[in-house]
Amino acid sequence: MPNAKFLEEYQLYRKFDFPIKRDTKLLPISLNEFPKVNLNMYCPNCNNIRTFKFNYKYIHKKEKNLFIKNIDNHFQIKFDFSKTQRPSFPVLEENDIVNLNYICASCEDYYRFFAIKMGKGLKTIEKVGQFPAWDISIEKNLKKILKGYSEYYKKGKTCESQSYGIGAFAYYRRIIEDIIGELLELIPDLMNGEELEKYRVALEEVRKTNNTTNKIALVKDLLPPILKPEQFNPLKTIHDVLSTGIHGKTDEQCLEDAESIRTSLIFLVDAILSRKKGQQEYTESMKKILEKRRKKINKNEN
């Protein structure tokens, strides 16, 4: 069902464009027109990201008290309190809530549920419920960098989970303001030669300013290729979002901006820390190899 990104990442009440196609306007839209799609999400049983396969779906029609369950494409009417004539297949209408059930394909013992509400004119959908709840935990690498600012991050994600875009944006902006200096100081570790010289000169200027967007502006075009995959520049993204600010924007617009800041920040921190770790591991293993070689030479000389 409908789109993996929507189910995996969208926050509650955030509208997703999902015009349901119908062959002819005369025919009612059935639940079958909801495409099925597998998800990649975390399974606590497997303690890893796993494929979740679509299990079953049913419509919850509040006003008509009609509950219909669909297992393996065979529709069964579970309850029909209305006792009026109903079509034998479920028809989708505005404000219907479609419940989706997913199961981990690996352990087959962990379930995920989504409640999806059909929007106006069946052109959009939104999540009105999700179990387990949208994840507000902090990514491992980010936790190392955030330290005392972790609370802001959690609050930002909590706001995001409820689609309070303005709140999420404000918390993430605060995090960037507080940690950007430290983050920019880590980048020279990933550079050398002329690239490093240029960056160092800019970093001197960065240290002299207190304004976050100015700090980022000074170095955003000097990032090493490792921090700019496929022309995506996380610092430029953060800079663009912060410089347009929050003024006059709706919750929905701020939500997109908040998401851009969060994903760019996660990428930057991951890239910097894993590269550093990689370098440390390389240096350690090189030291060991050289030590062995030195011992061997000493032995031969003796």
* Alpha-carbon torsion, ordered 279, 281, 284, 288, to 10 deg: -130
The pair of three-digit structure tokens given for residue 70, joined into one six-digit string:
């669909």
Nearer to Zn ion by C-beta: 14 or 50?
A: 50
HEC letters along 91-134: ECCCCCEEEEEEEECCCCCCEEEEEEEECHHHCEEEEEEEECCC
Q: How far apart are CA 98 and CA 85, in angstroms?
A: 21
Burial class (CB in 10 A: 0-12, 13-18, 19+), 121: exposed
Q: Among 4, 46, 183, 246, which residue interacts with Zn ion (rule: CB under 5 A)?
A: 46
Q: Is 43 in the site for Zn ion (CB under 5 A)?
A: yes
Report the C-alpha gap between 146 and 272 in whole angstroms: 14
Residue 110 or residue 172: which is nearer to Zn ion going by CB?
110
Stretch that binds Zn ion, among 44-52, 143-151, 264-272, 274-282 (CB under 5 A): 44-52
Degrees (nearest 5) of the Cα angle 18, 240, 273? 95
- Nearest approach, Cβ of 107 to Zn ion (angstroms)? 3
Give the containing element (helix H, strand E) for 59. Answer: strand 48-61
Total binding residues toward Zn ion, as defined by CB under 5 A: 8
For Zn ion, the closer CB: 45 or 82 = 45
Rank residues 102 and 171 by Cβ distance to Zn ion and give the closer one.
102
Stretch that binds Zn ion, among 35-43, 200-208, 220-228, 238-246 (CB under 5 A): 35-43
CB of residue 104 to Zn ion, shortest distance in Å: 3
Binding flag, residue 52, Zn ion (CB under 5 A): no
Burial class (CB in 10 A: 0-12, 13-18, 19+), 5: exposed
Cα separation, 127 vs 113, whole angstroms: 11
Q: Choose among 6, 3, 9, 43: nearest CA to 157.
A: 9
In this chain, which stretch among 46-54, 198-206, 242-250, 276-284 interacts with Zn ion, using CB under 5 A?
A: 46-54
Q: How far is the CB of 44 from Zn ion (least distance, A)?
A: 8
> Whose Cβ is closer to Zn ion: residue 110's or residue 153's?
110
Q: By CB under 5 A, is residue 45 in contact with Zn ion? A: yes
Nearer to Zn ion, 106 or 124 (CB): 106
> Hey, CA dihedral for 165, 168, 171, 173, is it positive or negative?
negative
Select the span of 42-50, 59-67, 84-92, 172-180 touching Zn ion (CB under 5 A).
Answer: 42-50
Check if the beta carbon of residue 195 is closer than 8 Å to that of residue 222.
Answer: yes
Report in angstroms how near the CB of residue 50 gets to Zn ion at its nearest: 5
The contact mask relative to Zn ion for 81-110 (x = CB under 5 A, - = no) is: -----------------------x-xx--x
Whose Cβ is closer to Zn ion: residue 50's or residue 155's? Answer: 50
Contact window for Zn ion (CB under 5 A) among 48-56, 216-224, 232-240, 281-289? 48-56
- Return the number of other C-beta atoms located less than 10 Å from residue 239's C-beta: 22
Judged by the rule CB under 5 A, the positions of this chain that interact with Zn ion are 43, 45-46, 50, 104, 106-107, 110
